[in-house]
Chain A
Amino acid sequence: MIEKVIEVKNLVKKYNNFAAVDNTSFDVYRGEVFGLIGENGAGKTTTLEIIEGLRQPTSGEVKVLGFDIKKHLREVKREIGIQLQSSAYYHYLKLDEIVDLFASFYDIEVDPVGLLKQVGLEAKRHEYVNNLSGGQKQRFSIVASLINDPEIVFLDEPTTGLDPISRRNLWDIISAIKKKGKTIILTTHYMEEAEILCDRIGIMDNGKIVAIDETHELIKHAKHPIKVKFVTKGLKKDLEKFSVFGELDYVAGKEYHYELVLNKKSDLNKVLKEIDKYNPIDLTVSKASLEDVFIELTGRNIMEEESV
């Protein structure tokens, strides 16, 4: 039996007449990494902050670990750990002092060094937050969310603005937290990251969840499951020929570079034979990625908005 640790039902958050969160429902299960992905302004952070009790919903119901957050926010706060998007910590306290101080907010004692060790910051324990690099700051804000040994950890864009190495380093930390049996709910706008980290994903657009499923299921149901990229100088007039298989497009800004997305997996062999006739200089075949699914689901809306 899968246990639901977060239940969101018909959640609405309105600012004047604008619905930042528009009748959204979803569940998060114990022990999984659940990802909310979407463009900036899609409503991810607002949704998270309502679950965390930091914002009041206009309507709808949120239960965390079975507690209704409207009535039992204090109990909920003890069981959740929060990393806020782009937040800073006290400027004039050292890392171990901040950990100590936040532990006192939960009326508990912790070992700051042990905690900082989990994210490789034990050597920096006597430094101020401002003296840390971007990656170190993010690692610190994650460890700060673990001070009360929470059941559920909320990470709001934990890797935004980090270099690739720091990002990978953070992925390892997030996996390690998952291995301890904690439930993680995170937001990101890096599709690759969501694909790697998340067990399940909800795609948000304009305050609504437009798709929600296990990550590989989402990708499997992409409209165009296979993508063929190739480079050839021979293809000029015969472009039309490929439209029976799917959509052929130029790779943005590059002459002779083409990208063909297939409607059916089974057409792949035929397509490859066809392309071969034009002596391709380069050829790559790949599965659809989360990014393709995401653009299929939300890109249409961007165009609609622009045409209005």
Chain B
Amino acid sequence: MFKLLGADLKMLVRNKQALFWSLFFPIIFIVIFGLFFGKGGNISGSISIIDTSNNQTSQSIVKGLKDSNIFTIKNYGSLDEAKNQIQAGKLSAVVYFPPTFASTTQTPSNAVKIYYDPANASTSNILNTYIDKFITGYTYKVNNIKPQFTIDAEKLNNNKQFTYFDFVLVGILGLALMNGSIIGIAVGISKYREDKILKRIVSTPLKPWKFVLAEVFSRLLINLIQIALILTVGTVIFDGHIYGSLSMVVGLALIGGILFQLIGFVIAAFAKTTDAAQGMAQVVTIPMMFLAGIFFPIDALPTWLSNIVKFLPLAPLLRMMRGVALEGTSPLQNPADMAIVLGWIVVALALSLYKFRLTEE
């Protein structure tokens, strides 16, 4: 049994291609998301400011933009040069204060002008809103008006200011476990069947449950390496955070690993060939990859869709993992989540016990 476990681990590590998909693929995701949303917080693009009026008003807007840390600010000598940078795709927008900016004479030329790249509309939207708000406030001040309505936003979950990157980090953890386990088992076991390795094993006195157990355990150990690697890269290099209990997160991840492996066994039971197993595994994983809340909260989906998606295996698992990791809540905060995950485990286990055989008839 231990020899088999050791052999299984050896094989998993030696299978470089599968190892790449289970270990380095999620790391690539983390690097990409980390570079965009990780360290440095909320940078929304790079802009340039050309201030030719250089009066008090323009100076205070410039200072406000710089202090806000919303944008990376690049300096160019002239408006034309900055516009060229937008054409070249190296700059999202230019804020131009004409010489007559904020002069009291009402001419069109006293307005601040924003040139932007339509490909980076979100940057120009933020920029527009920001400057508009600044100018409105400034106008109130100059005219001595007090705004009648204000916004009073209050952050809940004090101290736990998780970022989008933290959110995605947990999502990628789920993604790596799901892909590695479902595809790994479905394809791996089907390949064993196609190569008649399963049949060869059945011809020995080895008990089938020992074979399955060694397979599952060796993959759970690989899952631990996956988890460690993803969390290390995410937290150390890109400043991600796990606010709650780390061991609870790992525990939930391993429950997920078991669930996804069982789904893999169900697929291996139904697929007649390795290619079919590959296809079926993708049919199961790809919709979950995009819909089950790895990259964005499922609330963002249309209601009818999110009502379906929230029952898929990955969605409640991610909700629990995020609850623990980002808000430090108990995994049983919402018992329905745990119930759905355990329900799927029972269904997948029953299906694989019913249908999965090491040999054919």
- Chain A residues with a Cβ under 8 A of chain B: 15, 52-56, 74, 77-78, 80, 82, 84, 86-93, 97, 100-102, 104-107, 144, 148
B200 at the interface (CB under 8 A from A): yes
Closest to A147 in B: B204
Q: Are A106 and B204 in contact (CB under 8 A)?
A: yes
Q: Among the listed B4, B10, B196, B359, which residue makes an inter-chain contact with A92, where contact means beta carbons less than 8 Å apart? A: B10
CB distance from B92 to the nearest CB of A (A): 49
Q: Are A84 and B199 in contact (CB under 8 A)?
A: yes
B107 at the interface (CB under 8 A from A): no
Q: Among the listed B14, B196, B202, B361, which residue makes an inter-chain contact with A56, where contact means beta carbons less than 8 Å apart? A: B361
The CA of A20 and the CA of B361, in the complex, are separated in Å by: 12
Q: How large is the interface on B (under 10, 10 to 19, 20 to 34, 35 or more residues)?
A: 20 to 34
26 interchain pairs, CB-CB under 8 A:
A54-B199, A54-B203, A54-B359, A55-B361, A56-B361, A74-B205, A77-B205, A78-B205, A80-B203, A82-B203, A84-B196, A84-B199, A84-B200, A86-B196, A87-B195, A87-B200, A89-B197, A89-B200, A92-B15, A93-B10, A97-B10, A100-B3, A104-B1, A104-B4, A105-B4, A105-B201
A-contact bits for B187-219, CB 8 A (1 contact / 0 none): 000000001110111111110000000000000
The CA of A105 and the CA of B199, in the complex, are separated in Å by: 13
- Chain B residues with a Cβ under 8 A of chain A: 1, 3-4, 7, 10-11, 14-15, 195-197, 199-206, 359-361
Closest to B6 in A: A101
What residues of A have a CB within 8 angstroms of the CB of B3 in the complex?
100-101, 104
CB distance from B355 to the nearest CB of A (A): 16
Closest to B7 in A: A101
Q: Among the listed B10, B196, B361, which residue makes an inter-chain contact with A87, where contact means beta carbons less than 8 Å apart? A: B196
What residues of B have a CB within 8 angstroms of the CB of A77 in the complex?
203-205
What residues of A have a CB within 8 angstroms of the CB of B10 in the complex?
92-93, 97
The CA of A15 and the CA of B14, in the complex, are separated in Å by: 40
Closest to B202 in A: A54
Q: Are B11 and A92 in contact (CB under 8 A)?
A: yes
The CA of A102 and the CA of B203, in the complex, are separated in Å by: 11
CB distance from A43 to the nearest CB of B (A): 15
The CA of A97 and the CA of B1, in the complex, are separated in Å by: 14
What residues of A have a CB within 8 angstroms of the CB of B4 in the complex?
101, 104-105
The CA of A54 and the CA of B197, in the complex, are separated in Å by: 12
Q: Are A53 and B204 in contact (CB under 8 A)?
A: no
Counting chain A CB atoms within 10 Å of each CB, the highest count among B11, B200, B359, B361 belongs to: B200
Q: Among the listed A52, A78, A87, which residue makes an inter-chain contact with B197, where contact means beta carbons less than 8 Å apart? A: A87
Q: Are B359 and A55 in contact (CB under 8 A)?
A: yes
CB distance from B254 to the nearest CB of A (A): 24
The CA of A92 and the CA of B201, in the complex, are separated in Å by: 16
Q: Among the listed A88, A91, A93, A100, which residue makes an inter-chain contact with B196, where contact means beta carbons less than 8 Å apart? A: A88
